[in-house]
Amino acid sequence: MPTRTTPRRRRTTTQSPRETDAHTAARIAARIAARIAALRAQIRHHDELYYVRDRPEISDAAYDRLVAELRRLERAHAGRAHPGGAAAAPTQRVAGRVARPFAAVRHAGAMLSLEATHRASDASAFVHRLTTQSGGVCDLVLEPKLDGLSVELVYTDGRLTAASTRGDGTEGEDVLANALTLDSVPRTLRAAAARRPAFLSVRGEVLMPRSAFVRLNRGLAAEGEEPFANPRNAAAGSLRQLDPRVTARRPLRFIAYELLAARDWSPATDRQVLVALRRWGFTTPERTVFARAADRVDRYHRALARVRESLDYEIDGIVIKANDLPIRERLGATSHHPRWALAYKFEPRAGTTRVEDIAFQVGRTGVLTPVALLRPVDVGGVTVSRATLHNLDELARRDVCIGDTVRVQRAGDVIPEIVERRRGTPRRPARIPARCPACRGRIERDGPYLRCVNRWACPAQLVAAIRHLASDDAFSIEGLGGECARKLVDAGLVGRLPDVFTLDARALRTLPGFAERSADNLARAIGDARRVELWRFLVALGIPGVGKSTARAVAGLFASLDALRRARVDALRRVPGLGAVDASAVHAFLHDRRTTALVDGFLRAGVAIRRATATRGTR
């Protein structure tokens, strides 16, 4: 994303040229600082969605562009320290953190990221550097870059004693109970051929096979649940379950590729490590190759790109590593990645098509998102017919019009992104709506966003709010997805959120496509969901700025809904992670007449708040 250029300031007679220059420089500096802050905030937001919630909103390619822009600005304006210290800047640390419901586990060695490139020239420069730094010869290990979830397994005296996700690289989430349900995770190291070290820590990737992903999503859709965006998110969502029985039903695989730490064992090469891992019972990456020259690297990259689609799991490039472990030791690592490895990624999958229309989609909070409606195109086996244009600024910056030809790209996932556009003739700009397309109500401009202010009566917001209310982090009502929510609103069965809890099987049977069984099942699911923990109820209310973790923090501080409704702003300020501004906003929201009516409506419809337990899944 390019930085916007600063408009030139005209000189006035009262300013000397030097003053004007100083002025301009200060303004540019302020703009750059603002852009850096905005990028950092955006990256943190997307990190949270990706690593903690397993629900990314943008493609990897779009994320990489944000990081690349931030890196460029940080490098060019090195004086601008991050307010939280360098360690807090997204470009300086491994993204992700321990999500609340899991206990934290300290890794035996740092779980770093990989430096990544798409360019052959970077890959050959990397091999060249490795060779020079290793004194003229450097054996390489070439492996597929597995696109899953990175996990550490620890074996003490041959027995699996810990399993954790990467988290922030130092501490991860404890997923031992879940890892134990995977067939490909050895519970004990096979003793037969190789001597087992007293302590062994292994890193690898948890993957969901593509075929299983398609089946899982089909099942979720049939239950009216939100499908996963891609096999990687499905793997992460399946492993990060509070109930290991759910994980056990998901066909996950673990592939080991790195030794993190060992006691009484010091192998000399990665090759020895991989051989030992296989003897102990691990699966290691298929198609691993040992090589020396940079031209082998390119051939390997091309060969894997060719077989990519025929593999039953996702890979998004190759990893080039030094084979010699003492050399790795000598080269060391930055705080982000080891200097002895490089991810050489594939070009993202793309397709070309035409923009047939640009619509504005109303979300739960009333934001109108511009969406390009495309002539359907096959991109790497997935039919793409829509691509988000994010907001009005992005729409203007990309200058996408109806009639244009665009290149849409999927980068290892199915959220498509427009990466190029050719002007069409004729072409017509999107018509920016003056009223909400769903309710014809008034809309407001809020920075780059358009928002329908009819929060309490817009049917599109109501559909999205019902879907949100039924989601896993809220009331978790199986069978109540987006499609069903729309039918409920269209049929006039739900006019306000609490109406969901007045639905019975007889009413549901009147919905189009609802057979007796599905109506009974949904009625039962609604009945079962009535007793709900406070934090889930708060999530369901959709309080602006209050996501799952804040809702949990609020519920941790207030024993009951009544206590929370009586709380003063100062008391809310004590909620960890809720700033003063947010505390006032939450207070105002809770005391809004309409919120009070909404909450009372829920209680009247039979919703009962119960004390927290930790038995439900997190997805």
Q: What is d(CA 516, CA 154) in angstroms, rounded to the nearest whole number? A: 50
- The reply to whether 343 sits near ligand IVH by the rule CB under 6 A is yes
The minimum distance between CB 285 and ligand IVH, in angstroms, equals 5
- The reply to whether 325 sits near ligand IVH by the rule CB under 6 A is no
123 to 162, contacts with ligand IVH by CB under 6 A?
143, 145-146, 150
In the bound state with ligand IVH, the residue whose beta carbon lies nearer, of 336 and 496, is 336
Which range binds ligand IVH by CB under 6 A, 9-17, 37-45, 335-343, 568-576? 335-343
3-state SS, 416-435, equals CEEEEEECCCCCECCCCCCE
Count residues contacting ligand IVH (CB under 6 A)?
15
- The reply to whether 237 sits near ligand IVH by the rule CB under 6 A is no
- The reply to whether 165 sits near ligand IVH by the rule CB under 6 A is no
Smallest CA-to-CA distance from 320 within 134, 146, 120, 126 is with 126
Smallest CA-to-CA distance from 561 within 522, 528, 600 is with 600
- The reply to whether 173 sits near ligand IVH by the rule CB under 6 A is no
Q: What is d(CA 317, CA 118) in angstroms, rounded to the nearest whole number? A: 9
Smallest CA-to-CA distance from 280 within 155, 168, 396, 176 is with 155
The minimum distance between CB 333 and ligand IVH, in angstroms, equals 8
Q: What is d(CA 78, CA 503) in angstroms, rounded to the nearest whole number? A: 59
Tokens linked to 574: 């004590």
Q: What is d(CA 184, CA 256) in angstroms, rounded to the nearest whole number? A: 10
- The reply to whether 341 sits near ligand IVH by the rule CB under 6 A is yes
In the bound state with ligand IVH, the residue whose beta carbon lies nearer, of 126 and 535, is 126
- Please pick, from the candidates 60, 74, 173, 205, the single residue that binds ligand IVH as defined by CB under 6 A: 205
Smallest CA-to-CA distance from 74 within 65, 57, 86, 56 is with 86
**Largest alpha-carbon pair distance within the chain?**
88
Distance of CA 475 to CAs 100, 171, 464, Å? 19, 30, 14
Residue sitting closest to ligand IVH (CB): 150
Site string (245-284) toward ligand IVH, x via CB under 6 A: ------------xx--------------------------
Phi, psi at 480, each rounded to 5°? -110, 85
- The reply to whether 348 sits near ligand IVH by the rule CB under 6 A is no
In the bound state with ligand IVH, the residue whose beta carbon lies nearer, of 203 and 468, is 203
In the bound state with ligand IVH, the residue whose beta carbon lies nearer, of 343 and 494, is 343
Helices (H) and strands (E) in the chain, counts: 21, 20
- The reply to whether 182 sits near ligand IVH by the rule CB under 6 A is no
- The reply to whether 388 sits near ligand IVH by the rule CB under 6 A is no
- The reply to whether 112 sits near ligand IVH by the rule CB under 6 A is yes
End-to-end Cα, the chain, rounded Å: 32
In the bound state with ligand IVH, the residue whose beta carbon lies nearer, of 110 and 176, is 110
- CA dihedral sign of residues 347, 348, 353, 355: negative
In the bound state with ligand IVH, the residue whose beta carbon lies nearer, of 411 and 585, is 411
- The reply to whether 113 sits near ligand IVH by the rule CB under 6 A is yes
- The reply to whether 297 sits near ligand IVH by the rule CB under 6 A is no
- Please pick, from the candidates 96, 172, 338, 412, the single residue that binds ligand IVH as defined by CB under 6 A: 338
The contacts found for 212-215 with CB under 8 angstroms, 24 or more apart, are 212/250, 212/251
In the bound state with ligand IVH, the residue whose beta carbon lies nearer, of 146 and 466, is 146
- The reply to whether 47 sits near ligand IVH by the rule CB under 6 A is no
Distance of CA 220 to the CA centre of its chain: 19
- The reply to whether 164 sits near ligand IVH by the rule CB under 6 A is no
Secondary structure class of 189 (helix, strand, coil): coil
Whether 145 sits among the annotated catalytic residues: the reply is yes
Q: What is d(CA 445, CA 128) in angstroms, rounded to the nearest whole number? A: 52
Secondary structure class of 131 (helix, strand, coil): helix
- The reply to whether 235 sits near ligand IVH by the rule CB under 6 A is no
Footprint of ligand IVH on this chain (CB under 6 A)?
112-114, 143, 145-146, 150, 205, 257-258, 285, 319, 338, 341, 343
- The residues carrying an active-site annotation are 145
